[in-house]
Amino acid sequence: MAMLGKQEVQGKVLRYEAFISDVLQRDLQKVLEQRDEVYEKIAQYLQLKNVIERLQETGSQELVTQVDLGCNFYVNAEVPDTSTIFVALGYGFYAELTLPEALAFIEKKNKLLNETAETLTKDSAKIKANIRMVLEGLRELQGLQDLPEENRREIVL
């Protein structure tokens, strides 16, 4: 294999660095943001599950609560019948479910969301591995020595 000139090496290094910053790190950030959104939905469904379980424990038919209208502006609300609840199914659709039906839906939805979060976590690990591989290629291309294990750090955005 012929030795590359210093300028050719520098050009390849710049292209690889641009690939890391323009493609891989952007992809990693998108995947991590999607995973955070999924975790937020999981937290919301768990909060709803806790509210439903409390309603079932008390057995009351009426509920007085405060509802956030936005920007932390709360108003008092009275629910005359708590035997059914409207649950967001997604894509703007809601279903009126009994409390046991809502709990069953939440369990299924949480299982699906956890699988999605796991998939996104695996995707982020693959992207991090690709970044590491390109960085190793850059190190070899530039003829740099490998860092000792204790001086290496994890790739984090």
Residue 2: its pLDDT value, please? 46
Pairing, β 84-90 against β 93-98: antiparallel
CB 65 within 8 A of CB 77: yes
- Residue 85: its H or E element: strand 84-90
What is the per-residue pLDDT across 112-134, written as a single tens digit (0 to 9) for each?
Answer: 999 999 999 999 999 999 999 98
Residue 148: its pLDDT value, please? 58
0.85 exceeded by the pTM? no
CB 66 within 8 A of CB 77: yes
Residue 3: its pLDDT value, please? 58
User: How high is the mean pLDDT of the chain?
Assistant: 87
Mean of pLDDT values over 87-101: 91
Tell me how far apart the alpha carbons of residues 113 and 130 are, in angstroms, rounded to a whole number: 26
Q: Which of 14-23, 51-60, 68-77 has the highest mean pLDDT?
A: 68-77
What is the per-residue pLDDT across 9-54, written as a single tens digit (0 to 9) for each?
Answer: 788 888 888 888 888 999 999 999 999 999 999 999 999 999 899 9
Mean of pLDDT values over 92-107: 94
Region label for 92, one of left (φ > 0), alpha (ψ between -120 and 50) or beta (otherwise): left
Give the count of beta carbons closer than 10 Å to the beta carbon of residue 19. 14
Q: Indicate if the pLDDT at residue 1 is higher than 50.
A: no
